[in-house]
Amino acid sequence: MLQQTIERIICKSNLEESEAYEAMNEIMQGNAEDSQIGAFLAALRMKGETAEEITGFARAMRDNAENLKLESEYVIDTCGTGGDGGRTFNISTAVSFVVAAAGVKVAKHGNRAVSSKSGSADVLEKLGFNINLEPKYASNCIDKNGMAFLFAQKYHRAMKNVAGPRKQLGIRTVFNLLGPLTNPAFVKGQVLGVYDKNLTHTAAKVLSNLGCERAMVVCGEDGLDEITTTSNTYVSELKDGKISDYKINPEDFEINVCSMDAIKGYTAEENAALIRKIFQGEKGARRDIVVLNSAAALYVGKACESMEEGVKMAEGIIDSKKAYEKMNELIKCSNNF
C-alpha cells in the first residue's frame, strides 16, 4: 500500500486524512522498508504536507505511542520543532518552570538536541532532573507538582522504525513537526515554535483537528522557533475554534529588541547555569525572552487574559524567586521515584 501512496504523492496528489493515517500506521508498525520510508518522506517534502495529511500522521503516531493518563483536565506544552539553526539556549524549557509556578499544569514533551548543542532532555538532565520517569510517575508529578518531562523516545518507541531513513536523508521532514504535535498527554493548550513562518497556520489547524483548545504557533522573523526578541514574530493563534494570524514585536510589551548573540546558547551544562542565573535574578536579554515566551504560555494556559498581563505575571514569578523554587521542587519530585 505504501508504494501506491508514494506514487500518488510524487504526482502531487494530496492524501485524505484516513489515507495519511494508514500510511503512517504502516511505517510505525514496522511494515515498510527503509527505502520506501525515505522515498515517502522526500516525496512529501517536495509536494508540501497539508493539514489533513499531518493530522492523519499525528493520529497514527499517537495510536502507536504510550500515552499518559492524567487527573488534570487542562494541561499545556511549550516546545519547538528544533531545526531552526538559531543556536539559542533552552528558552521553552525555562518557560515551563515559570508557567508551572503560576499553577498551570505542564507536560513538557521533548528530546535530545536537534539544531543546538542542548535539547530539552539534555539541559534538564544537567539541572538534575530524572528525564526517564515512568509514565505513572510523570502523571503524578504533573497532577501533584505541576510539571513533568516526557522523554519522546520513551513514549514513541515506534520512531525507531524511521531513525535510519531520517538520518540517511539528512533533511527536514514532516517528523520535525510531528514530534511537538504528538504529546503523549494529549495537551489542551500549546505554545508551539516552528522553523518556517509558512507552517504556523497549518500547524494551528492540525492542533485544532487533534482537539487542542488554545494554541499559539509562532515563528520569529529571524527564523527562531520561539517568540523572538530580535524582531517580529509571526503568530497563528487558535482560540474558540478559530485561527487568527498576526505579528507581534517585543517592543509591544516594553521589552527591548536584542541581537541573536545576546540569546545564544552553549552546552547543556552551560545552559543549565544560564537558566539558574535568570531565576536567581540576573537581568538582560535572556531573561527578557523567557518573560515574553512565558507570557504566551500563561495566556494559553488561561492564567491571564492577555500577553500584556502575562508579561507582568512572568516578571513577578521570576523576580519573587517562585520559578527558581518551583524548578527545585520539580527536580526533587522527579527523583522521588
Predicted local confidence at residue 228, as pLDDT: 98
Average the pLDDT over 261-269 and give the result: 95
85 versus 200: the higher-pLDDT residue is: 200
Q: How far is CA 322 from the centre of its chain?
A: 23
Residue 84 has pLDDT above 60, yes or no: no
Alpha helices in the chain (DSSP H): 2-10, 17-28, 34-47, 51-63, 91-101, 120-127, 135-145, 152-155, 160-169, 175-181, 200-209, 268-279, 285-300, 307-319, 322-334
Does 183 appear as a known binding residue?
no
Q: Is 92 annotated as a binding residue?
A: yes
User: Is 87 annotated as ligand-binding?
Assistant: no
Residue 115, annotated as binding a ligand: yes
CB 234 within 8 A of CB 198: no
Contact assessment for residue 227 and residue 293, using Cβ atoms and an 8 Å cutoff = yes
Whether residue 120 is annotated as binding a ligand: the answer is yes
The annotation status of 222 as a binding-site residue, yes or no, is no
Calculate the alpha carbon distances from 326 to 45, 74, 87, 117, 193 in Å. Answer: 41, 19, 26, 25, 24
pLDDT surpassing 70 at residue 290: yes
Query: What pLDDT, in 10s, does the model give residues 4-42?
Result: 999 999 999 999 999 999 999 999 999 999 999 999 999
Backbone torsions φ then ψ of 121, nearest 5 degrees: -65, -40
Q: What is the pLDDT of residue 316?
A: 99
Q: Is 225 annotated as a binding residue?
A: yes
Per-residue pLDDT reduced to its tens digit, 85-127: 668 999 999 999 999 999 999 999 998 875 557 889 999 999 9
Q: Domain 75-334: which CATH class?
A: alpha beta
**Nearest by Cα to 41 from 176, 193, 155:** 176
Q: What is the mean pLDDT of residues 48-67?
A: 98
What integer best gives the mean pLDDT of the chain? 96
Residue 221: CB atoms within 10 A of its CB come to 14
What is the fold, at CATH topology level, of the domain defined by 2-63? Answer: 1.20.970
- pLDDT band of residue 1 (cuts 50, 70, 90) is confident
How big, in percent rounded to 5, are the helix, strand and coil portions of the chain?
Answer: 55, 15, 35
The band of 147, judged by pLDDT with boundaries at 50, 70 and 90, is: very high
* Cell 517536495, located at residue: 46
What pTM was computed for the model?
A: 0.96
| Predicted pLDDT at 111 | 87
- pLDDT above 70 covers a percentage of the chain that reads 98
Q: Do the annotations mark residue 261 as ligand-binding?
A: no
pLDDT at 206: 99
For the segment 239-259, the average pLDDT, to the nearest whole number, is 98
Is 90 annotated in a binding site? The answer is yes
Domain ranges of the chain: 2-63, 75-334
Distance, in Å, from the CA atom of 175 to the CA atom of 231, rounded to the nearest integer, reads 28
Annotated ligand binding at 173? The verdict is: no
